[in-house]
Chains A and B, each alone.
Chain A
Amino acid sequence: MIELVSKDRCVTCDRCVEACPTNVFDRGADGIPVIARQSDCQTCFMCEAYCPTDALFVAPTVTPLPTGDPLRNEDHLVATGLLGSYRTGLGWGHGRTPGSRLAVGPDLTPHKESSHQAASNGRSCSPCRLISGR
């Protein structure tokens, strides 16, 4: 669930208020978005992806974290490289290569290397989809 809105990083652009598909944020009086309905957060990480300044952090857990949990601590998240890590993974942001350009996923059926090569002619294994659904 969404756990952090960094006051220092936020540029009050309202992108997260707009982009959150389950309407978790309200506009705060000072412009900083408020986590108004945390229980509606579906932990989809999309607000993080849309935040231009990496001011948001979504913990992967589906229940709120206790006060004092390191994943609610901005300094810890910066130090561990977790803050903004989804945007890095997606290749979103100035000067980055869109992750979709590089998104050649694995074959979805574990193969023995040789049979895969035979089936694939050096490209892709035809019964498999390289990038898949769930």
Chain B
Amino acid sequence: MGQSFTHSKGSVFRNRLSRRSFLKKSSFGTLSGVLASAELIPVEKAHLNTEAQRDEAIPCAVIGFGEWGREISKAIHELKDTELSVVCDHFPLMLRRVQRDFPTAKTEADYRNVLMDDSIKAVFVATPTHLHREIVIAALKAGKHVYCEAPLAHTIEDARAIAVAAKQAKGQIFQAGLLNRTEPQYRSVFGFVRSGALGKANMTRSQWHFKDSWRRTSSSGARTEELNWRLDDSVSLGLIGEIGIQQLDTCMWMNGQLPKSVSGFGSVSFWRDGRAVPDTVQAVIEFPNGENQLFDATLVSGFDAAYDLYFGSDSTIILRDNKAWMFKEVDAPQLGWEVYARKDRFYKETGIALLANATKLDSLGTDPTADDPNAKAPIWHAIKSFADNLNFGTLESIVNYQMAYEATVVAIKANEAIRSGSKIDFLPEWFSIDG
């Protein structure tokens, strides 16, 4: 399996004319067209023939087996394009959990040994945010293709160092974990928004509500401290940085602009256990086109969970649980297709279901609130995108280092605004990875 590849820095499996090479050559033109136009029209990419693929699955390593590292590992394990070869964590208990969840994967305590393993082609970094820099840069230097969780880092300096290293690593894939950009329903809504379905877009409202102390524990005191990095004021980007970055990035993507300023507020309103990191935050992200975003997140109330609302003069679109509905204004023009689309009641409103695969006739009868048998978690789509790029490319990532860096900068500054209760104007040079 993994041993059948010989690693060669900066190249993608060039020592063997495999099926992957064949696909790459034969499909390059088609796929590059898809990727080039990705900002305009989201296109569902062709999936590879799934059989007879295990022998060429991409050998992958996951570094950091916390709750999210476990989800990444699960998706890699499920995908036929990828093989979960190694999982690395320096805490022995986590490696025992790896052995139980994924008996065929090897375990490793030191990430440097993973990077020295030539059979490993792709590395997924899911450590705490402040530990990304060292590992990502080392992985890129070792010639690995890298998937790095978002945010890239907890400081602009670290984020910039990662982005520069990714830019310099020619021929290597660098993809960041901004999940909505690779999620089919979000990509479909992106097409609606960009085609003017909202009329004059005017604002976005995003929320993330979950009742949880956000605290972690372990029988070991030192380990408990390590696990609670999200509540450590010196390294944590708080709710808006660690969670909200996904929704901030989506708004930047839909708007097609970088924000002008951010104003924030935050408080420890319920979990008064000595923490300084707020359990409830609000922020307004101002955009040059006036289509500002209101964001709030809380660990105090789980009411109404998480969603994004994109408002406009003709309609409003809600995205939640990777499903979407459109609510039209009474005076909005007919679009034509909505007559045939499924409608759902939301209190006094009627939502028109927006299905990512609506062009398929059979999907018109599908209840958008029901489970889609083909539904996959957003992380599955992110890794599928990464694997497709490796199989067909190497091309520029759908979520590249520049996008990840920009989102990280916004998250860092939004957290600063929340912590200081102030407004911060973005300086253009902050968004440049050259400084």
Q: Do the two shown chains form a genuine complex with each other?
A: no
B-binding residues in A (CB < 8 A): none
B-to-A contact residues, CB < 8 Å = none
